[in-house]
Structure 1
Amino acid sequence: MASGLVAVLGLFLLVDAAARGSWDVFWSAVGPVTALVWALWLLTVRPAVRLDDDALTVVNPLRTTRVPWAAVADVRLRWQIVVQTADGRSVTCRGGPSIRGSRPARRGELSVPHEPEELRAIRSRWRARRTARPGDRAVHRTWDRPAVGTGAAVVVLLVVSAVAFAA
């Protein structure tokens, strides 16, 4: 919530500088503000975990990994959901739920971590679909094109801001 407010405030200040005709302020600030908004989007909005009948797709900040159900060896919860693949690699789901502790019912009892509903849904889909296409075990890792492309645009704006600030 606070990160969203910071992004909105930065964008408001850019619009205000442009509306007032303070182009030196606008061009000096546009790079850092867009870098901040991009980083917030990349770390808080973009990560996701998607399930379909064929595979589990993990969208992390800069990488996308598609793991066919036949290639999943285990799904567990550490700080976040971790998918262990048949080839021994692990994929951390940055967009999935994180571990949450629950309060003890009585004083002196240990708190038991809560298992998120999302983890149960992933395990259920994996158990149901892992033998559907047994030959498909290729895990596909690619760069997340929208994240990398917008990151390149942010770098250009940072260079523009540095040149505007130096002038």
Structure 2
Amino acid sequence: MASGLVAVLGLFLLVDAAARGSWDVVWSAVGPVVAVVWVLWLLTVRPVVRLDDDALTVVNPLRTTRIPWAAVADVRLRWQIVVQTAEGNTVTCRGGPSIRGSRPGRRGELSVPHEPEELRTIRRRWHSRRASSPADIAVRREWDRPAVVAGAAAAVLLVVSVVALAT
């Protein structure tokens, strides 16, 4: 929500400056506005955890990891969902749920941290699909192309803004 508000506000200010004919302001501000919106998008909107019949796909900022169910050794919750692979690697799911505060118990009772429903869903899918998933498929890590391309475009606009400020 907040990242959308920042994007709308930045766009509004750029359009306002363009409508007033202040192109020096537009060219000097477009880079920082786009860079801030890109960082907010990268950290708050882009990360996601996807489940399908064959694998668990983790989209983190700048990296995407596809883990076949047969390659998952453990799924646990630290601050975020963490997947341990059979190869011994650890993948932190930045787009998954995090530890929520525990509800206070009655007087004298211990409070138990709440386990997110999303974690239980991942574990159920893993337990049901690991036997039928092909064991020879490896974990695939790659750069998240849309995020990297958008970041490169933001960097170019940032350079344009610096040049516009210098002239």
The answer, yes or no, to whether TM exceeds 0.5 is yes
User: Which aligned pairs between 1:89-128 and structure 2 lie closer than 5 A?
Assistant: 89-107=89-107, 109-128=109-128
Tell me how far 1:109 sits from its aligned partner.
3.8
For these two proteins, the number of residue pairs brought into alignment is 167
User: What's the counterpart of residue 166 of structure 1?
Assistant: 166
Q: Which piece of structure 1 moves more, 74-83 or 127-136?
A: 127-136
User: What's the counterpart of residue 149 of structure 1?
Assistant: 149
Listed as ranges, the gaps of 5+ residues in structure 2 are none
TM-score under structure 1 length normalisation:
0.95
User: Which aligned pairs between 1:18-97 and structure 2 lie closer than 5 A?
Assistant: 18-97=18-97
Q: From the superposition, tell whether residues 76 and 161 of structure 1 become closer, same or farther in structure 2 (CA, over 3 Å).
A: same
Whole-angstrom CA distance in 2 between matches of 1:143 and 1:113: 34
Amino acid at match of 1:63: R
CA contact (8 A) 1:74 1:85 kept: yes
Whole-angstrom CA distance in 2 between matches of 1:111 and 1:26: 53
Q: From the superposition, tell whether residues 108 and 18 of structure 1 become closer, same or farther in structure 2 (CA, over 3 Å).
A: farther
Whole-angstrom CA distance in 2 between matches of 1:8 and 1:163: 25
Listed as ranges, the gaps of 5+ residues in structure 1 are none
Deviations 1:68-118 (A, max 9, x none): 000000000000000000011100000000010222122454331111111
Percent identity (aligned): 83
Tell me how far 1:51 sits from its aligned partner.
0.4
TM-score under structure 2 length normalisation:
0.95
Whole-angstrom CA distance in 1 between matches of 2:78 and 2:137: 24
CA contact (8 A) 1:68 1:136 kept: no
Deviations 1:17-38 (A, max 9, x none): 1111100000000000000000
Over the residues paired in the alignment, what is the CA RMSD in angstroms? 1.2
CA contact (8 A) 1:73 1:86 kept: yes
